[in-house]
Amino acid sequence: MNLDDLHVDLDRLHGRLVALGKIGALPGGGVSRLALSDADRAGRDQVTAWMRDLGLAVTVDRIGNVLGIRSGEVDGPPVMMGSHIDTVKAGGIYDGNLGVLAGLEVIAVLNDLGLATKRSLAVGLFTNEEGSRFAPDMMGSAVHQGFLDLEEALAVRGIDGAEVGKELERIGYAGSEPTGSVRPHCYFELHIEQGPVLEQEGILIGAVEGVQGISWTEYLIKGVSNHAGTTPMRMRCDAGYLAAAIAVEARSIAREMGGDQVATTGLIEFKPNLVNVIPGQALITVDLRNTDEALLQAAERRLTSFVEQTADAEGLDVSARVLARFEPVSFDPSMVDLVERVARDRGFTVRRLPSGAGHDAQMFAPNCPTAMIFVPSAGGISHNPAEYTAPEQIRAGADVLLRVVLEKAMK
């Protein structure tokens, strides 16, 4: 048969998205399914039930990752699709769910046609991608791909004091399968963009080139709290001034560097935080991201040098603490090409772009050919009940996923 005649069933896929979104649904819209919560268990139960209905062989590994496998005509590593179904505390119904359920839709389309693939197919649901209850995020995929020790992960305690290992047992997802026993031939993840680029440029499909490297630094600045009226400018040790200057400089670095460099000061706190008192203490964070490690390091160096020189000049004491640091991840160029080509062949508008957020796919990228497909997020909003991607955009994304999977699974 001609692959052009294959079509995903939007009603079925969208129906599953809505049904899964009802598990842990929030009263005003959106969904709360923190990792390893009762709602996560109920969501997992639903997804594994769908996997079994589709005839997949379901395994659960020791960190709770669920894999549903459809055997191919030959032995060997499967073409894997996947993502996660845990959410932030008040999230939307799309996010990771789309990647998992679109994977199931690919299987369903093939089942409907009785179409066998040469290679096996797998759909993965990875534990605790969000990291909202347990740190670090992308926990299940990190353990699966050997970047996080299993025992260490099982011992992690969450914001509520609960332990990952015990919570896995409690919800019945402490599986027996060794982690990483199934190594994929290649890995695809469909995801909402979580940013505004596709929507603002009127583009349907993003061919994701990689994931930005992330550098989070917190600066604690100590000066001298004093009266705003009686202290001449020359006698001030104004912790608030340095904090503000860091925020302005970080943005100026990103603007001057251009490209994918971004810089954000999202958090600031002054003490005592009164109109007429010079801040004696200020806390500020800078979030720097770039797809290129050398450029990210250059941004870090420029900012560090500015902070040190300005603190010296102002007589302020600054301590810098790294809150997070991940190197950029590049996806396999031939896989990115494939996504772009397939999308274009289907007549969809497509552009290459980096992912500004972390995804399970970045754990697979160092070990197997990996790619991601983005669909637009309305208003760039995600991790929010208002998260929205239109049905036609979902259909297009799943359609691309179906075709890239078949390209890799048929050869």
Contact 329, 293 (CB under 8 A): no
Q: Judged by CB under 8 A, does residue 293 bind its own copies? A: no
Q: What are the residues whose beta carbons fall under 8 Å from the beta carbon of 230, sequence distance 6 or more?
A: none
Of the candidates 380, 388, 407, 410, which one interacts with its own copies according to CB under 8 A? Answer: 380
Distance CA 246, CA 282 (A): 11
In the complex, the smallest distance separating the C-beta of residue 233 from its own copies, rounded to whole angstroms, is: 5
User: DSSP character for 118?
Assistant: S
Provide the minimum distance between the beta carbon of 362 and its own copies in the complex, in angstroms, as a whole number: 12
Among 130, 238, 292, 399, binds its own copies (CB under 8 A): 238
Binding positions for its own copies, 164-193, rule CB under 8 A:
193
Joined tokens for residue 20:
């899964």
Q: How far is residue 384's CA from residue 411's CA, in Å, rounded to a whole number?
A: 40
Q: What minimum distance in Å lies between the beta carbon of 301 and its own copies?
A: 19
Determine the Cα–Cα distance for residues 316 and 179; give it in Å rounded to an integer.
Answer: 49
CB of 199 to its own copies, least distance (A): 10
User: Of 42, 162, 220, 245, which one interacts with its own copies (CB under 8 A)?
Assistant: 245
Among 46, 48, 59, 226, binds its own copies (CB under 8 A): 226
Q: How far is the CB of 168 from its own copies (least distance, A)?
A: 27
Q: How far is the CB of 210 from its own copies (least distance, A)?
A: 12
Which range binds its own copies by CB under 8 A, 143-151, 154-162, 177-185, 227-235? 227-235
Q: Indicate which single residue of 32, 145, 355, 370 sits in contact with its own copies (rule: CB under 8 A).
A: 355
State which of residues 248, 322, 386, 390 lies at the interface with its own copies (CB under 8 A).
248
Alpha helices in 125-282 (DSSP H): 139-144, 150-154, 164-170, 197-201, 239-257
DSSP 71-89: --SS-SPPEEEEE-----T
Binding to its own copies (CB under 8 A) within 123-162 occurs at none
Give the phi and the psi of residue 340 in degrees, each rounded to 5: -65, -45
First to last CA, the chain: 15
Please name which of 410, 409, 411 lies closest in space to residue 78, comparing C-alpha atoms: 409
Residues 6 or more apart in contact with residue 329 via CB below 8 angstroms = 210, 211, 213, 362, 365, 366
Please name the amino acid found at residue 60: V
Identify which of residues 169 and 287 has a Cβ nearer to its own copies in the complex. Answer: 287
Q: Which stretch binds its own copies (CB under 8 A): 52-60, 115-123, 300-308, 380-388?
A: 380-388
Give 338 or 357: the residue with its C-beta nearer to its own copies.
357
> Does 197 help bind its own copies (rule: CB under 8 A)?
yes
Question: What three-state secondary structure class fits 68?
Answer: strand
Q: How many residues bind its own copies (CB under 8 A)?
A: 60
| 53 within 8 A of 129, measured Cβ to Cβ | no
* Minimum distance of its own copies from residue 315's CB (angstroms): 13
d(CA 48, CA 51): 5
Q: State which of residues 268, 298, 320, 368 lies at the interface with its own copies (CB under 8 A).
A: 268
E strands, 54-130, where?
Answer: 57-60, 66-70, 79-83, 121-125
Q: Pick from 270, 306, 331, 364: which binds its own copies (CB under 8 A)?
A: 270
**Least distance to its own copies from the beta carbon of 252, Å?**
10
Tokens 């020359």 belong to which residue? 234
Instruction: List contacts with its own copies (CB under 8 A).
Output: 193-197, 200, 212, 214, 216, 218, 226-233, 235, 238, 240-241, 243-245, 247-248, 251, 254-255, 260-270, 272-279, 285, 287, 289, 323, 355-357, 380-383
